A = this chain, B = another copy of it.
Amino acid sequence: MFTIKEIPKISEAEWSIMKVLWEKSPLTSTEIIQALKEVTSWSPKTIHTLISRLVKKEAIGEKKESRLKSFFPLVTEEECKSTETKSFLKKVYSGSLQMFIANFVKDEKLSQNEIEELKDILDGKKDS
A residues apposed to B, CB below 8 Å: 12, 15, 78, 80-82, 84-85, 88, 91-93, 97-98, 100-105, 107-108, 110, 114-115, 117-119, 121-124, 126, 128
A contacts with B: majority SS: helix
Chain B residue, CB-CB nearest to A115: B122
Partner of A122, one of B15, B82, B118: B118
Instruction: Say how many copies of this protein the assembly contains.
Output: 2
Q: Please give me the residue from chain B that is nearest to A100 by CB atom.
A: B85
Q: Are B122 and A107 in contact (CB under 8 A)?
A: no
Complex interface: chain B residues within 8 A of A101 (CB): 101, 118, 121-122
With a 10 A CB-CB cut-off, give which of A82, A122, A123, A128 has the most chain B CB atoms: A122
